[in-house]
Every structure is written in C-alpha cells, then in structure tokens.
C-alpha cells in the first residue's frame, strides 16, 4: 500500500537528490552533469572558513530559531485552545476563517503591508509627524529586528497553524471530559488533564520537526527586509549563502550548504526524537 | 453531543469570557484592518491611491477598473481554470498516495516499515536542487505537462508523518474487530480508517490544496506554454514589476486606460483569495467535528 | 548511484555534450587574452528614417520626437522568416499576452514575420532561474535573451550560441540595416572570445540614471533649482522639505547627481593609464558623507534609503526630487493625476561651475543570442531580429509596439494610444520580443512636448562630458564569479553608512577588503582584457 507514494518520493525527490553531487564540483549549467570540474570541498569553504560574517549569520539564525520556538511555535496551540473553549460554534468558525487569511499573502505583500503601516512614512509615523511628535523607527531598528520578524510570522501563520491542532482536538474522547466533570474537575483542570494531553503527541511531533529546521529561518521574509536593517542584524545562514554564492550563480555552493544543513537536521531530529523517547513520548517514530 | 464536544465550557466565569472576547476581537482587528485596506486599494481611484502613498485604508468609491484590467484578454480566466484543475487533481492524487503510505507506516510490523519511514522523514530534511529537479522532470517527458506541477510535489513528508500520527491514534480495538469480521487491509483502510479520519483528511487535503493553489515556482520552470500557466504564475507577472524600463515607459497608454499599479496588485490578491474563501467553509465543517467519537461510541 | 544517473539523465547529457563540441577545458578558463580577443565590430550605419523633431547635437543624443511621425512608411520588403517555427526564450516586466490562438496581434505578427513565433515568456525576476535550468536541460529557444549575470558567459556562449561574426562583422551587417543601426558601443557588449555571439538590445543613454525634479512643486513653493551644485542642491532640498506636510527633498539619495557634481565615474574608469573603481576614489567618501548628512538632516524620504517606492512618492509629491532613468519620465507623466504636473531634468554642476559629468550606464538593456544553426537558418533568424529592430517612426515599429489601428490603438493627432485590447494583446506596447532585439530608444513623451525639450536641453548640456564606461564589453573571470557578491556587499554598507548604522570610517576598511577579495583581481583582468583588445 505504501508503494505509489514511495515511488513518487524516490523518483521526484531522491533521484534529483543525486544531483547534490555538484556540491563537490564547480558546476556550470552548460557543461554536462558529470563533466564539470571536481573541486573537492571548495564549495564548503563558504561555511567552514570561520569568516566573522558567517559566524554572525549563524548566531542570528540560532537566536531567531530560539525566539521563534518560544513565541511562534506555541501561538497556534494557544489560539486553538482558546477557539476550542468558545461556546458558539458560529463565532468559532468566523474567527478562525478570519485569522487564517494572512497565510495566503506572500511575503512580498505582507512586508508591503507592514511598511504601509509601520514604515517611516507609514500610517502611524505620518500621524505622529503631523501632530508634531517624534517618529518611531519600527522597521529599521537593528535591535528590534527579531521582534519584528517574530511578530510578522505570528501575524501571518498563527491562524493557519491552528487548523492542525483543532483537528487533533476533535480526536479527544468526550468521555474523558465527562469523567473529569464527574470527578468535579474545574475547567482549568480539564484543560490541563484532558485537552493538553490529548494533543501532546502532536505538539511533540511538530516540535521535533521544527527543530530539524533550526538552521532555516524565513529566507524570503528576511532578504526582503535586509536593506531596512542592514546585514549585521539580519544576516542569517540562508541569506549569507545567497549573498556570498548563489547571487553569483555558484550552484555548487548552494548544494554544499544544502547537504550540510540536511546532515545537521538529521542529527537534530534523531536527537530530539531520542530525548522524546526518554520522556516516554512517541516522537516521530519508535524504535 | 454538542455540550460534550465543547468539553471544557462548563459554566465559564464572566471575567474569562470578557477576556476571551477582547483577545479575539483584537486578533481579528489586526487581521481585518489590513485586509480592508487590500480591498479598498483594489477599488480606489488613481488619485486616491497616489495621494495616500500607495495604500488606501478606506475607498473613495467603487472603481472596478483594476478588475476589468486583470480579466481583459482572458488570460486570467484560463489560468483560473488550470489552477482549479491542478488543485483538484493534485489534491486527490496527493491524498491517495499519502494516506496509503501513512496507513502502511502506522501499523507496526508491516513490511519495510522502518526504512520507509526514514525515507519519508529524510525527504523533509534534504532537498534537491533546482537543476536536478528540472532534469528529472524533463527526462520523464513532463515539461509543459500539468503533471509536472503535481507529481514532483505530490507527497509531502510532513503531511505523511502527520497523517500517520493521526492514524496511530485510532484504537487497535476498532481495527481488530473489523479484522475478525474478515476485512482485508485495504477494506479496513477504506471503510474504517478513512471515515474515522475525516478531520485530519480535511486538514491535510487543505494543506495540499493550498500548496497546489499557491505554487508558481515549478510552473515557472516547467511550463513554457503560457496557455497552461496556473493563476499564481500569471498573477506574479502583474505584481513583480521592478525592471529598469517598466511598463508603459514608451508611452502607448494614457492615464485613464491604466488603473494604478497598486490597485491591480491588490485586486490580484483578492482574485486569488476568493476561490479559497469559497472552499474553506466546506472543509472547516470537518475539522470542527470529531468523527472518531461517534464511531467509537456508536 | 552513477548508473541510475547515467541511464536517467543520459538524454540531456548527450544533448549537452553535442553543444560542447569537444571543448574540454571550458570550465574555469582564465585565458583572459583569448576570452577578450577582439573582432572587427559591425559597421555602424545610422538608418535615415523619419527625421527627429530636434537636431542631433551629439552621437549619444537619442532621437527626440514631439509626436509620432505622420504616415509612417514600411521599410522592409517581403517577410523575414523562412516559414518554419521560430522559438524565442525571453522575459517580460508586464502581464503576459493572450496566447497566439486568441490574440489577433500575435496572429498578425506571425503573418508579417512569415514564420510562426513561439515564445517562452518568464517574469523578469524569475529569468535567472529559468535561464539556468533551460541551459542545463538544453531547452533554450532558437533566439534567447541572455541572462547577463550568468557565470562564465564567454564559455557559455561559445558552447551554446551561434558565432555571428561572419554574418555581422564589418560591412557584412549592412545586410541587416536595422541591426547596423546600433552603435559600436552597443556591439562591444556582444563580443566574446573573439566572436560576435549576440545582438544588443540597445538603450543608449535612456536607461542611465539622472536627477529628476517636480518643476510644478518648485514653482508653487517659489524655490529655484536651475543647475545646482552640491550646496545648491542641499539648499533647495532644505527649502522644500516640510515634515509636517509629509514632504521631503528627495525620494532616494541623489547619488547620480552628486557623483556627477563630484566628477565620479560610474564603476571603472581609466585614470593616469590605470583602472580605478569609483569606490576607491576619495570623492566617493565625499559622496557618502554628503548623502549621509542628507539623511541626517531629514531631506530624504524616511523610507527612501531602504525601500524602493520612489515612483509613488515622486508622483504624489511627497518627494520633490528623485533619481530615475531618463526613460522613466514618460511613466511619471502617465501616473500623474495633477494637471500641472511637470518634470525638469536639472544639469548638475561641479563646485567650480563646470557642467557635472553625466554618469552613463550600460548602453544595452541586455543581449540576445541565436542557437547554433545552419547558415541558412542563421540568416533567417537574423532577418527576424533585424525586423524586430525596425526603428521608431516606421510602419514596422508602429505595428510592433502598438498593433493594428482600430483594434489595438487609436490615433490622437498622430500619436498612437493603446486601447484596452491593445493593452493586453500587445502587452502595453512591450511585447516580449523587445528583449530579443530592439531599435534605438527615442525620447518621445506623447502629449508633453515641453518634457522633450527639457530633456533635449539637458542632454545637449551634459553629453559632451560623457565617457563610455571602459569596462563595458570586457570580460573578467573574477567579475563573473564574484562581482555581484562584492557589489551587493558594498551596496549594503553604503546603506548602513547613509542611515548612520555604520561610521564613515568603515568605508576604508571595506574598500581594502573589497580590493583584496576580488576588486584588485578584477582590475588586473580588465587591464589585461583592454590590452588584448588593443585599447590600452
């Protein structure tokens, strides 16, 4: 039964993955795949040369990942629980339909909207200026960049993210709530002892997968705003590779970085999975 | 049933109700206000758009020129049709492949389970490059075929893993009783597992459908014939316009014939959102209701 | 692993190998003399079509027209095509046109070409990716626009483009009078490894950047701009800036004007027999310090350094001056909602009162090449390109840009105006064939004769100072693989300095690093290239 899906994956994912061999070549698209010059690990230099800019990019990446795991990851869970606790089915649906809308905007548009509202001549600053007050640099402040990124992601994807959790909530056996009520459990206790455990496995699963993506933080979102705050504050791994390789058509470099990121992700996911097992959770897969 | 569903809404205190309302109203306002701006800009006049710096919060009238401009020439209509075909066909193919794969992985002990699971998982962590993808699609003769927009992205490792975790939540007892009644694997999958998983099927179906709907990159690479372009790719040519000599520099058209660029961009956004807004409520019904509960009890 | 790759990808490997024609050292070739080997450029023969409304005072002066010439005449005979399909790979900055089967313009175009034209159209931003995959899969068309950022361009063109030298070098080009209508400066960008391997999509001076000012606003505020020096410019900007009214002096930092005032070159320049880059010159630091001060004084739109929305701000009047291309003037007039809207193009002056030197950009928008073909086919494709390049004022041009009278355009006096159908079917007058070949770019702002006069007078004053960028048409391997990386790095620092995020002193270190990590190598290679071309 696994066959059709498996074949699709092997043909359209793993077969082209073999092309990542160009990580060890100076690949030129007009030279046949096998015949580009082999350059050993030269393409990996961009990440292993210990360049200060690279280290800064790595630092920013990890910082953003940590902040986002703390603030972005739980947001849809909280919202899903809140929605789930609503009395009226209709309000619940309306609210959810509204909140998931921003997911469908591309980053170009989201950032344009943020600029129209928060930019130097955006709605808020124009208002402040015309009333003789000082303006606030929301978008160009290097110290506030991570907060800005995080709020954009929350705005864009929280509503969308609830969908999966809402589906998980429907799987909880209502009998459990009934039993809890019979025992006189308060609503908070029900939440804590019935609802959260009911979706815990999913939360952990998603968290592990998110950890695998630790080195990937919104490339498009950041590169579009890099001019606003400058590179020192906004350079992350992906933008660094873009600015120092991809931009000049160095295909081998992007393949090399893809390989390294993949390997790191494997370590992180398997590691996190192991930790989940230690705590008696299912994780992504069991032994 | 409905009180049970709501579960924890057992005599909520007034204060918590107020708090919840405030939180939700604020959240909705944050989303709705910019969206009103999107719609307002799409129907605003050139003068109004220019004077407000490109983004209008409230329209000064109803000016449908941007929409007329988009639909003029029939390119967008055709692309809309193509997108519907891809999203529908693609979602069906994806759901079929993914659910079967996930189900096979959800029952411990089935053949090759571990390695296949790792294959699925690793597909999330390593991604192939642009050019190898292109060469594979080309070698399979899929260039300029709509299948090129479906097959390469048909199986999402993430969705398979999510489906699998939901399938694993179905109590063994339910499946065992069916097995005792002599049902085969496929039979159980089709008439028990799938009906019990409507919520997650709706969610994953939505994930796939939205993925197909929003995708433009593969179409940009694989589809040369503009008659087969999906909506998002066509719309992209309206939004992206930043080259040195941009439209109308040569001065064919006069002002009254061309709606403002910003209005067109926002109108495009509205056009691409409408189909999703239409489909969503039908799916939403499914993830608001627990199908499993009824079955287990009934 | 190898086996499955071979069997599966064998097809494209073989196809690609054919194109390579046995040249095994194609990668990483650093033989600069060979890559820059000169060739006799095509003879320039100006096509004497409709007479411009203003006399040409300088070879670089674009043809200035107040209105579209009346009764345009047909300047070609028969059809250029050979009857078989012509496939073009090209880009667009506009919405795509309806496909040929439902596009009367395209059908008529096919009829006039005498060959059905099939186009692969890609949005300009996506073109580098599309181009790279099409190169890898060997799926480029018979005619293709060349992505100028593509690494190892000479080697690529040697492998995958028809050598056009025998068809175009010297007087051979006279066979194609509209291609011969491109100046040699444009052709310089089409020579690689000792062969003419592409045709130019020429723009002349029209795509160079310049300072533009809203004359109507200046008049309204009673401020005189005239022909400013740096001090004058700052004075004017201060006079017109009024934050409370959301009005600023500049939409973006006026780097082109200030560079002109300081006498900075655009990129590389020969000084005392050596190549120097603008970034290395002391005046460049002055430029940075001036624009940094402008930001500090609040003379530049608050989003002006970081964001690219100057067209809106300038049209709307929240910026009185901006920097854009000469050709953009028309698009501003088109967007304007204010009846008095009027743009002036000031002449920059150095501190000593001399006319500031104009900063010329590349003379070409891009180049386009032909897939290796038989001589007969090559000639037919060149005839098609020649037809695409028919100049302003001819009947061919009128059809190419505006379609058919009645359906696609109506005449306002003698000026064609696109109808709604024209807008979509002819792509707003920019059918994507314009990136396969194009005629010279005119100064023509229909309905605004005063704008044509203004630009003409501006160019008449500044063109005598023009020096064509010496590095254009030279190939440096380091530039090809590292140039863009270095440029964006320096641009990012420029923004940091202008916005006050970095100190001006950071520039010196950055320049030292810039030289070390590539600029010195590029200079060296460009000098070798100039020697190889016999230009130094």
- The answer, yes or no, to whether residue A192 has pLDDT greater than 50, is yes
By CB atoms closer than 10 A (0-12, 13-18, 19+), residue C515 is middle
- Is the CB of residue B109 less than 8 Å away from at least one CB of chain A? no
- The answer, yes or no, to whether residue C8 has pLDDT greater than 70, is no
CATH code where residue B133 lies: 1.10.3720.10
Residues B236 and B112 in one domain: yes
pLDDT in tens, A111-154: 888 888 888 888 888 888 888 888 888 988 899 999 999 999 99
Domain region containing B23: 1-63
Partner A, chain B 258-297, Cβ-Cβ below 8 Å: 265, 269, 272-273, 276-277, 280-281, 284, 287-293, 296-297
The mean of the pLDDT values for chain A is: 89
What CATH class has A38-278? mainly alpha
CA B88 to chain centroid, in Å, comes to 11
Q: Which of A129, A230, A243 sits opposite C496 (nearest CB)?
A: A230
Please give the angle made by the CA atoms of C202, C371 and B132, to the nearest 5 degrees.
Answer: 105
Buried b (16+ CB within 10 A) or exposed e, A250-275: bbbbbbbbbbbbbeebbebbbebbee
Residues B204 and B230 in one domain: yes
Chain A interface mutation, best of B28, B168, B271, B288, highest count of A Cβ atoms under 10 Å? B288
pLDDT for B288: 60
Residues B2 and B78 in one domain: no
* Last-in-domain residue among B20, B45, B63: B63
**Mean pLDDT, residues A28-49 taken together:** 85
Confidence of residue C304 (pLDDT cuts 50, 70, 90): confident
**Mean pLDDT, residues C155-166 taken together:** 95
- Token readout for C4 is 């499955």
Partner C, chain A 210-229, Cβ-Cβ below 8 Å: 226-228
pLDDT in tens, C245-290: 889 999 999 999 999 999 999 999 999 989 999 999 999 999 999 9
Residue B138: list chain C partners with CB under 8 A: 11-12, 137, 139
Fold of the CATH domain C81-205+363-442: D-Maltodextrin-Binding Protein; domain 2 (3.40.190)
pLDDT for B249: 41
Percent of chain C with pLDDT over 70: 94
Residues B161 and B182 in one domain: yes
Contacts of C52 by beta carbon, 8 Å cutoff, 6+ apart: C63, C64, C65, C442
More confident residue, B60 or C20: B60
pLDDT for B245: 34
Which pTM does this prediction carry? 0.91
Q: Report the gap between the CA of A87 and the closest CA in chain B (Å).
A: 7
pLDDT in tens, C31-57: 899 999 999 999 999 999 899 999 999
Q: Report the gap between the CA of B121 and the closest CA in chain C (Å).
A: 21
- Token readout for C140 is 């480029």
Contact C246 A129 (CB under 8 A): yes
pLDDT for C46: 95
| Count of domains observed in chain B | 2
Residue B247 lies in a domain: no
**Mean pLDDT, residues B116-145 taken together:** 93
Percent of chain B with pLDDT over 90: 41
pLDDT in tens, B78-95: 999 999 999 999 999 999
pLDDT for C149: 86
**Mean pLDDT, residues C505-517 taken together:** 96
With the CA atoms of C334, C337, C341 and C345 taken in that order, what torsion angle do they form, in degrees rounded to the nearest 10?
Answer: -40
pLDDT for C313: 86
Q: What are phi and psi of B72, to 5 degrees?
A: -65, 130
Chain C interface mutation, best of B216, B217, B249, B266, highest count of C Cβ atoms under 10 Å? B249
Contacts 24+ apart (CB under 8 A), C137-141: C137/B134, C137/B135, C137/B138, C137/B143, C137/C12, C138/C12, C138/C15, C138/C16, C138/C19, C139/B138, C139/B143, C139/B224, C140/C89, C140/C371, C141/C86, C141/C87, C141/C88, C141/C89, C141/C371
- The answer, yes or no, to whether residue A66 has pLDDT greater than 90, is yes
Task: Identify the closest residue of chain C to B65 by CA–CA distance.
Answer: C420
**Mean pLDDT, residues C131-160 taken together:** 94
Distances (CA, A) of B249 to B172, C92, C168, C223, C331: 68, 14, 30, 29, 5
Residue C422: list chain B partners with CB under 8 A: 252-253
pLDDT for A10: 95
Nearest in space to C392 (alpha carbons), one of C58, C64, C168: C64
The mean of the pLDDT values for chain C is: 90
pLDDT for B259: 65
The number of CA neighbours under 13 Å toward the Cβ of C178 is: 26
Confidence of residue B240 (pLDDT cuts 50, 70, 90): low
Residues B196 and B115 in one domain: yes
Residues B106 and B168 in one domain: yes
- The answer, yes or no, to whether residue C535 has pLDDT greater than 80, is no
**C323 SS3 class:** strand
Count residue pairs from B and C with Cβ separation < 8 A: 180
Give the integer Cα–Cα distance in Å for C251 and C294: 11
8 A C-beta contact, residue B231 and residue B202: no
Give the integer Cα–Cα distance in Å for B93 and B101: 12
Please state, as a whole number, how many other Cβ atoms lie within 10 Å of the Cβ of residue C74: 11
Residues B225 and B92 in one domain: yes
Among A160-164, B106-110, C363-367, the range scoring the smallest mean pLDDT is B106-110
Among A45-59, B151-165, C402-416, the range scoring the smallest mean pLDDT is A45-59
DSSP secondary structure of C145-158: EE-TT-TTHHHHHH
- The answer, yes or no, to whether residue A232 has pLDDT greater than 50, is yes
* Last-in-domain residue among B63, B84, B99: B63
Output the CATH code of domain C209-359+466-473.
3.40.190.10
Residues B10 and B116 in one domain: no
* Last-in-domain residue among B18, B40, B63: B63
By CB atoms closer than 10 A (0-12, 13-18, 19+), residue A127 is exposed
Distances (CA, A) of A105 to B38, B270, B288: 11, 10, 24
Contact B50 C425 (CB under 8 A): no
Confidence of residue C223 (pLDDT cuts 50, 70, 90): very high
Q: Which of C96, C336, C416 sits opposite B237 (nearest CB)?
A: C96
Break chain C into its structural domains and give their ranges. 81-205+363-442, 209-359+466-473
- The answer, yes or no, to whether residue B7 has pLDDT greater than 80, is no
More confident residue, A40 or B285: A40
8 A C-beta contact, residue A245 and residue A264: no
pLDDT in tens, C331-387: 888 878 788 999 999 999 999 999 998 888 889 999 999 999 999 999 999 999 999
CA B254 to chain centroid, in Å, comes to 38
pLDDT for B258: 58
pLDDT for C320: 96
Residues B188 and B290 in one domain: yes
- The answer, yes or no, to whether residue C154 has pLDDT greater than 80, is yes
pLDDT in tens, B12-65: 567 888 888 898 999 999 999 888 988 998 898 877 877 776 778 888 888 888
Give the integer Cα–Cα distance in Å for A42 and A32: 20
Break chain A into its structural domains and give their ranges. 38-278
Residues B77 and B58 in one domain: no
Q: Report the gap between the CA of B223 and the closest CA in chain C (Å).
A: 9
pLDDT in tens, B241-272: 543 333 334 333 333 445 677 788 888 889 88
Nearest in space to C427 (alpha carbons), one of C93, C192, C114: C93
**Mean pLDDT, residues C64-68 taken together:** 95
pLDDT for B290: 47
Among B61-75, B284-298, C51-65, C336-350, the range scoring the smallest mean pLDDT is B284-298
């Amino acid at each position: 039964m696994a066959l059709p899906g498996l074949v699709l994956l092997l043909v359209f994912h793993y077969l082209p993955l073999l092309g990542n061999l160009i990580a060890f070549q100076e690949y030129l698209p007009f030279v046949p795949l096998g015949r580009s010059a082999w350059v050993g690990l030269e393409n990996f230099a961009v990440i292993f040369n210990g360049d200060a800019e690279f280290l800064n990019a790595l630092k920013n990446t990890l910082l953003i990942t940590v902040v986002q795991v703390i603030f972005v990851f739980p947001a849809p869970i909280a919202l899903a629980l809140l929605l789930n606790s609503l009395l009226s089915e209709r309000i619940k649906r309306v609210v959810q339909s509204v909140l998931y809308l921003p997911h469908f905007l591309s980053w170009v548009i989201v950032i344009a909207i943020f600029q129209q509202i928060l930019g130097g001549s955006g709605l808020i600053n124009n208002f402040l200026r015309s009333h003789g007050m000082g303006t606030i640099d929301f978008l160009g402040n290097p110290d506030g960049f991570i907060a800005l990124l995080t709020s954009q992601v929350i705005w864009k994807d929280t509503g969308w993210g609830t969908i999966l959790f809402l589906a998980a909530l429907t799987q909880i056996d209502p009998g459990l709530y009934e039993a809890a009520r019979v025992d006189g459990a308060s609503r908070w206790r029900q939440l804590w002892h019935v609802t959260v455990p009911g979706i815990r496995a999913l939360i952990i699963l998603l968290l592990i997968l998110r950890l695998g993506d630790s080195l990937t933080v919104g490339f498009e979102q950041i590169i579009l705003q890099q001019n606003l705050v400058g590179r020192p504050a906004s350079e992350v791994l992906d933008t660094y590779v873009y600015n120092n390789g991809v931009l000049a058509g160095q295909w081998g470099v992007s393949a090399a970085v893809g390989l390294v990121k993949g390997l790191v992700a494997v370590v992180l996911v398997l590691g996190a999975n192991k930790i989940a097992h230690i705590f008696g959770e299912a994780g992504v897969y069991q032994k | 049933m409905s009180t049970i569903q709501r579960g924890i809404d057992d005599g909520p205190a007034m204060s918590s109700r107020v708090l919840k309302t405030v939180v939700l109203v604020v959240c909705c306002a944050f989303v709705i206000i910019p969206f009103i701006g999107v719609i307002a800009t799409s129907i605003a006049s050139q003068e109004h758009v220019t004077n407000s710096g490109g983004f209008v919060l409230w329209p000064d009238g109803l000016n449908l020129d941007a929409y007329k401009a988009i639909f003029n020439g029939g390119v967008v209509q055709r692309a809309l049709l193509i997108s519907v075909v891809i999203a529908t066909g693609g979602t069906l193919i994806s759901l079929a492949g993914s659910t079967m794969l996930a189900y096979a992985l959800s029952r411990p002990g089935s053949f090759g389970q571990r390695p296949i699971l790792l294959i699925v998982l690793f597909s999330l962590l390593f991604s192939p490059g642009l050019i190898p993808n292109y060469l594979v699609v080309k070698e399979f003769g899929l260039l300029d075929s709509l299948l090129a927009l479906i097959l390469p992205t048909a199986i999402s490792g993430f969705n398979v893993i999510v489906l699998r975790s939901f399938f694993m939540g179905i109590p063994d007892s339910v499946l065992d009783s069916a097995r005792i009644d002599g049902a085969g694997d496929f039979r159980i999958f089709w008439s028990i597992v799938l009906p019990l998983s409507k919520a997650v099927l709706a969610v994953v179906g939505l994930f796939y459908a939205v993925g197909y709907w929003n995708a433009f990159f593969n179409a940009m690479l694989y589809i040369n014939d503009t008659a087969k372009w999906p909506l998002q790719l066509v719309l992209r040519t309206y939004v992206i316009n930043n080259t040195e000599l941009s439209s109308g520099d040569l001065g064919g058209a006069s002002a009254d014939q061309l709606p403002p660029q910003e209005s067109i961009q926002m109108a495009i956004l509205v056009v691409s959102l409408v189909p999703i807004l239409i489909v969503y409520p039908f799916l939403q019904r499914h993830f608001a209701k627990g199908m499993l509960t009824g079955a287990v009890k009934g | 692993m190898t086996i499955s790759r071979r069997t599966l990808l064998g097809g494209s490997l073989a196809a690609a190998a054919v194109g390579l024609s046995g040249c095994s050292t194609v990668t990483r070739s650093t033989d600069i003399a060979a890559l820059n080997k000169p060739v006799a450029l095509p003879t320039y023969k100006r096509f004497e079509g409709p007479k411009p409304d203003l006399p040409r005072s300088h070879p670089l002066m674009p043809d200035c027209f107040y209105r579209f010439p009346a009764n345009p005449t047909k300047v070609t005979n028969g059809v250029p095509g050979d009857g078989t399909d012509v496939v073009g790979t090209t880009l667009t900055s506009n919405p795509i046109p309806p496909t040929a089967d439902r596009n009367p313009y395209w059908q008529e175009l096919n009829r006039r070409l005498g060959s059905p034209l099939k186009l692969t159209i890609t949005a300009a931003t996506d073109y580098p990716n599309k181009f790279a995959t099409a190169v890898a899969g060997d799926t480029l068309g018979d005619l293709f626009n060349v992505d100028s950022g593509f690494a190892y361009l000479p080697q690529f063109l040697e492998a995958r483009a028809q050598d056009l030298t025998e068809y175009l070098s010297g007087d051979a080009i006279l066979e194609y009078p509209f291609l011969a209508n491109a100046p040699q400066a444009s052709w310089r960008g089409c020579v690689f490894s000792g062969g003419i391997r592409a045709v130019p999509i020429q723009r002349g001076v029209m795509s160079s950047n310049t300072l533009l000012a809203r004359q109507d606003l200046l008049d309204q505020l009673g401020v005189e701009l005239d022909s400013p020096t740096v001090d004058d410019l700052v004075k004017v900007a201060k006079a017109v800036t009024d934050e409370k009214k959301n009005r600023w002096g500049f939409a973006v930092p006026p780097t082109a004007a200030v560079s002109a005032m300081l006498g900075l070159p655009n990129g590389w320049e020969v000084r005392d027999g050596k190549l120097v880059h603008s970034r290395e010159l002391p005046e460049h630091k002055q430029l940075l310090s001036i624009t940094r001060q402008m930001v500090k004084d609040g003379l530049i739109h608050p989003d002006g350094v970081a964001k690219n929305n100057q067209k809106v701000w300038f049209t709307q009047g929240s910026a009185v001056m901006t920097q854009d291309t000469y050709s953009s003037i028309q698009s501003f007039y088109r967007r304007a909602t204010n009846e008095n809207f009027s743009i002036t193009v000031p002449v920059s002056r150095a501190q000593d009162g001399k006319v500031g030197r104009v900063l010329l950009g590349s003379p070409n928008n891009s180049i386009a090449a032909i897939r290796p073909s038989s001589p007969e086919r090559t000639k037919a494709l060149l005839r098609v390109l020649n037809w695409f390049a028919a100049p302003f004022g001819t009947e061919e041009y009128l059809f190419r840009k505006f379609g058919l009278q009645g359906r696609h355009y109506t005449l306002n006096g003698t000026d064609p105006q696109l109808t709604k159908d024209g807008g979509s079917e002819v792509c707003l007058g920019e059918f994507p064939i314009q990136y396969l070949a194009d005629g010279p770019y005119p100064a023509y702002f229909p309905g605004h004769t005063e704008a044509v006069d203004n630009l003409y007078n501006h160019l008449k004053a500044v063109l005598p100072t023009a020096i064509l960028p010496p590095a254009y048409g030279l190939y440096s391997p380091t530039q090809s693989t590292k140039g863009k990386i270095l440029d964006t790095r320096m641009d990012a620092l420029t923004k940091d300095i202008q916005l006050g995020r970095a100190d001006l002193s950071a520039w010196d270190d950055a320049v030292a690093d810039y030289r070390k990590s590539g600029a010195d190598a590029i200079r060296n290679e460009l000098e070798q290239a100039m020697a190889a071309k016999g230009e130094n």
